[in-house]
Structure 1
Amino acid sequence: MSAEIFTRFVAYLAIFLFGLIVMRHGLFQLAQAKLQMLLTQLTNSAWKGMLAGILITALLQSSSAVMVMLVGLVAARLIPFTHTIGVILGANIGTTVTAELITFQIGSHALWVLLAGVLLLLFRQQVCYSIGCLFVGLACLFLSMSGLSSLAEPVSTLTVARELFDWAASHSAYGAILGATLAAVVQSSTACIAIAMGFLAEKSMALPTAIAIMIGSNIGTCLTALLASIGSGSSARKVAYANIWLNVLGALLFLPFINGLAWFSMMLTSDPSTQLAHASVIFNVACSLLLLPLVRPFSLFVGALHGRST
């Protein structure tokens, strides 16, 4: 029984990740000519860099993809390291769009969206192909979310899962460690949030625990940029280190206030999944706005720890 549950869980997670990749591909095809232009031209100030980070991450549906782009641009000396901090702050906000998107109740229409996407893929026009990818990706997201929600109750009855959830619920730091570990494995903070949403919907997990997992997942997903920076030079590596430090500092700042964040999110909506999505937005917006005025000293801090800024 546990093997069957695990197999289904992996299958639904794979469908979710596939949906993210396909949707990102479609969006990227629609806007690829202007993405690097935005990064190279709109990063000369922190606030413009943050706006660019929000927009590009919302389009690509992946903060990790934006981080990898930044590492490449810095390695190629197209932008300096100090201009990337604002983009990183914006990317953390932009990545919350997907979590908000999957809370919409259109799961019953997912098959029709999938069919429309497949039909659009048959056309040769670039726009039709891109929109087809977008529809197929969205359909996969909603279908996998339905599957993950259906598995929440049987998974929570397993002894190992119950002990793990109890451990994560015993302290917010443990929940963050669980989220960071899971995100490092699946390489998607959005997938971690989607899993937590499934358990929230079935009342198998408390909202504060889910928020701690969400905060930790922001740290775990930093591994992608760190791996991409290997062999790319000291300035490019500082982009990855800055991403890690920003998320670690944000986590340390908010972990003591998780119960307050959960209470505020519950005041906004009664739906558990939407509560977590709203908490993700509030957390990332608050962290980015708090750190935005400190971009210069923060870049000096990263440079002092990981090599002189260039």
Structure 2
Amino acid sequence: MPELPEVHALVADLDHRLRDRVVARLDLMSFAALKTFDPPVSALAGQGIRSVTRHGKFIDMAVGDLHLVMHLARAGWVRWTDGTRPAPVRPGRSPVAARLVLDDGSGLVITEAGTKKSLAIYLVRQPADVPGVARLGPDPLADGFTRDVFAGILASAGRSQIKGVLRNQSIIAGIGNAYSDEILHTARMSPFKPASMGADDGSRLYDAMQATLREAISRSEGLAASELKQEKKTGMQVHGRTGEPCPVCGDTVRQVIFADSTLQYCPTCQTGGKPLADRVLSRLLK
């Protein structure tokens, strides 16, 4: 799933390509992907693209007086096409969910791999009309996201596991499963540690969050959309690296499997050398 650093870089690439271009139409191949009906997608025709920005993991294209908002979910992606060789689309079998076509035939192909279709497209008058955007917590890279603000978030979360707090979009926008693993590894902190931690731990976690996200953005800066997935994968230290040596201490990276996701961690760096029980009801490690 693309998270804040990839969406940040993707938005920069799309803004460069799309700003001041004119939309011809939005073609939907997966009608289930469109979550709104008013305004109709036909309202995009002939409208200029003013900017491409983000809200957490949501991509926001300002088109005329409207906003075309996308959430790529677990397996969605966007690629640029010059329009010269459109890929054939087989209904029910193609990964193509939609195409945004510009007035010269170029544009974006929006795809979603796999069988679990969660990609969502909204055409709204204001970004806050999208329920997921309206529920977003603060952006961790915003100027107002200070150490004190983060301390307040941790205190409010109480005994909730810190892994879940970091990836809860209503608490902090943009961090998902992968970067929460990376942040906690950098902070040398158990994913099951309660959020209501001491000031020193909270400060260390804040520094790890800022460093991890900003370094990932720096690595992705200037890359085309087609290169971002590989950059994310190669930049991970523990996430997706079960069974490999930790790059910090050399211990074996382990994982905990949940119903719909996994987390990875280093026992030596994060849990005092103790492996976490690999089940949903693992006991918290302080």
Both structures adopt the same fold (TM-score exceeding 0.5): no
TM-score (norm 2): 0.24
User: Greater strand percent: which structure?
Assistant: 2
So what's the TM-score if we normalise by structure 1? 0.23
Q: Which has the higher contact order (CA 8 A, sep 6+)?
A: 1
